Structure 1
């Protein structure tokens, strides 16, 4: 956990051999106290103007970049959607924190509160979660947080016994589907077969039950989750359909949970009827009710795991498939060299693949699955960027746009560039202190006292396993984030 620092020193550049292994917010300094720039504007008018910029005229990345340039600061006040003018009491006012050092304060649990701020000041109806408030919406001071966090970490620990076999067996089916589509000359995105693969392997790993016990869930479970996820996040997300239709149809109101209630109930009943062992674990060892246990399992499965992989894996596979620099040859060489000793592909061997891991980390840096992170100030405190210190008031909502934070030029050399080797070697390992994608630094450890993703390490290992499996099967692939084609099978 980060110490409660009133100010922090600017970390040395990544090329420096003195790169600190301490998180940026924990380093002492003598930085000037500056009045925080930016404003919220006139009531209604200010939030509406910022909302139109965010969704319509600029888009999220340009929205933040233009304000950094305008205020000559990576810390400032502004508004962020959603700001439903007629629905709910949603406050759009935020303090933007857009460099690694200021951003790191979002994970100091002595300074910030994480209650109901997963996607900002807007929390979807609890009807999406069977009326239960999942652990992700609880602050660390809430007594139920420790129960739900420890439960999620325990089911992940237990899942490690079958995680590898379930992943590889479902990848077999995934690649068979892709090859069949190609041979039949079907123009079909690989994303949907990948989502089906991910859903089936995650369900078996986390609940101990294969989806094959219910043909309906096997065929449609991932489709249900797609709708369930979309209805929660669409009001806060730029989709890209023509304006003003996106603004009017998608961003004007929160969506009611009854739209997906029938599908969610099917998933609930599937867990309730078949996952007796993991339900007993939640009830008997962690003091959760049956209802709390099942709904928290579904949140971990659907939002954290399936939702995160559905966003991240296409960007990872697309980056590799579209590369023209020789990266595929280097990845193939490393994978086959490590696996060529007869030990095959497993957690130990994939952990030896430095380049594969670095490519996964670099993709997470540039395309984090969750682009925005939020936290609310527990009390008045001083927050520091690389250049100055600012006063934050109790109750203010802090927001970091990770795509911009992870392009911090004070930390990353050539920050806009995809560098496959960025996290290789000693200097690369030290940079992991500054890699944020999982509600904390890559070098952090999930626990009941923080909000870091319980499956942080399983996510990166799984991504590495998928890349390694691809290059054990194929010499090369072509494609992008939507389509992929194996060019040559491994001999």
Structure 2
């Protein structure tokens, strides 16, 4: 059946009474049901992957919480079409943090491609990454060497090692060295960079989280966390500290931005956001997920990955071309990005009336409606992926590569490229390469490893329990 022949259907679902419906949905989302059940129960109730609901935080945050929810691989793609949806101030969906957190500027991530500064800023980011491409591998290998050294020391001393803590230090070190050309420890930050950025990130994202603090009743947490955004002045000293360090050491990058017509302070705030929110924040999520799922693959997968990695490295060294020849390693990374995307939510506001479709029906979207996609379900669409809830490391090997167009972690299809006209992550290819490189560094050192995993505010917690060193 072609898309033109799909039967039309009115979008099902309910947002309840004004104000009270949004509060009830928020309590269900964060507490009584939880994120996944919140969506699955509604999908089953309405017998549709497209339906209406409310998305937190709700009415006190000055944005309409009503959305059209998209939970399948087909309808989700609508969110990438900027001819149909506006991406202005939708990064955090139904909540928009104060621009005080970004120096009074709406940074590139909050701009729609139709806004003039979007093309200037994103073009600047893409050019910056292209110019620094030869630094990616040596800088990341240096950072990973320090991480694994600390991990082994902690395992020897305590029997366990928190990967997240070590990963935060590694990620901040890599990003700062890449942009500023100096180690954070050699600046005024000393070792406070990760902690300062964590508090700055929390200040912006807290209304979208739940803390789960023991002995704090959920209604009390909900009242304070989801009704009142954290004011910037509480984290200002932390932001000022790492902003000052970036401003001091960005040097030539700010000069290049000025040549494009950007004011130095606007360029600096945008680069800090790119470094802190996009890069560091993303690495806090994606690398623990990578380790968690590859660990879950067990010793059998580890043997196969180690064999492939060691054979290619022995013959061709560690280069982008060599990484691209590691078919299983590539697939193992893509599968992590599919099953646990670092940014599970996408939003867009309809610019006009248009139709969308899932596998069974077409639906009319009205101009001005907010569309919300929950990627963690869209990329587990059982009509696209066999055994979608299972981590299948070789899913994208050979013919499986055809499924990459349904991997959406970067705010676009994995088969697409970021441009100034779209909202796809400018560092998309870099993230994929660094994930592959992390596995290379891991299996050049170890034959296998065991971890224990759980949940954090941002992504998964991962604790190493053991590593078996490689004796070559």
Q: Counterparts in 2 of 1:14-413, with a 5 A limit? A: 28-85=3-60, 88-185=61-158, 187-214=160-187, 216-241=188-213, 243-284=218-259, 286-324=260-298, 326-341=300-315, 343-413=316-386
- CA displacement at 1:325 relative to structure 2: 5.6
Partners of 1:237 and 1:471 lie apart in 2 by 35
Partners of 2:161 and 2:393 lie apart in 1 by 29
Partners of 2:441 and 2:8 lie apart in 1 by 52
Cα pair 1:472 1:490 within 8 Å, conserved: no
- CA displacement at 1:218 relative to structure 2: 4.0
Q: Summarize deviations over 1:405-439 as a string: whole Å, max 9, x none.
A: 111111111111111111111x2111011111111
Cα pair 1:188 1:483 within 8 Å, conserved: yes
Q: Counterparts in 2 of 1:6-21, with a 5 A limit? A: 9=2
Q: Summarize deviations over 1:49-88 as a string: whole Å, max 9, x none.
A: 1111101111111111111100011111110101143xx4
Cα pair 2:185 2:191 within 8 Å, conserved: no
Partners of 1:63 and 1:161 lie apart in 2 by 45
- CA displacement at 1:469 relative to structure 2: 0.6
- CA displacement at 1:369 relative to structure 2: 0.5
- CA displacement at 1:188 relative to structure 2: 4.1
Cα pair 1:202 1:305 within 8 Å, conserved: yes
Q: What's 2:458 paired with?
A: none
- CA displacement at 1:323 relative to structure 2: 3.2
SS at match of 2:5: coil
Cα pair 2:86 2:348 within 8 Å, conserved: yes
Q: What's 1:435 paired with?
A: 407
Q: Summarize deviations over 1:86-138 as a string: whole Å, max 9, x none.
A: xx412110000111111100011110000000011211111111111101100
Q: Summarize deviations over 1:8-36 as a string: whole Å, max 9, x none.
A: 94xxxxxxxxxxxxxxxxxx431111111
Partners of 1:141 and 1:490 lie apart in 2 by 55
Partners of 2:450 and 2:303 lie apart in 1 by 13
Partners of 1:213 and 1:145 lie apart in 2 by 33
- CA displacement at 1:318 relative to structure 2: 1.6
Q: Summarize deviations over 1:170-206 as a string: whole Å, max 9, x none.
A: 1111111111112222644121111111111111113
Partners of 1:186 and 1:231 lie apart in 2 by 34
Distance change in 2, residues 1:366/1:218 (3 Å): farther
Q: TM-score by structure 2 length?
A: 0.94
Partners of 1:176 and 1:41 lie apart in 2 by 54
Unaligned runs of 5+ in 1: 1-7, 10-27
Cα pair 1:40 1:93 within 8 Å, conserved: yes
Partners of 1:209 and 1:30 lie apart in 2 by 59
Partners of 1:126 and 1:405 lie apart in 2 by 31
Cα pair 2:355 2:365 within 8 Å, conserved: yes
Cα pair 1:475 1:487 within 8 Å, conserved: yes
Q: What's 1:483 paired with?
A: 463
Cα pair 1:475 1:488 within 8 Å, conserved: yes
Unaligned runs of 5+ in 2: 454-461
SS at match of 1:373: strand
Q: TM-score by structure 1 length?
A: 0.91
> Which shifted more, 247-256 or 176-185?
247-256
SS at match of 1:140: coil
SS at match of 2:114: coil
Cα pair 2:339 2:380 within 8 Å, conserved: yes
SS at match of 2:450: strand
SS at match of 1:116: coil
Partners of 2:62 and 2:410 lie apart in 1 by 28
Partners of 1:311 and 1:240 lie apart in 2 by 19
SS at match of 1:399: strand
Aligned length: 460
- CA displacement at 1:280 relative to structure 2: 0.7
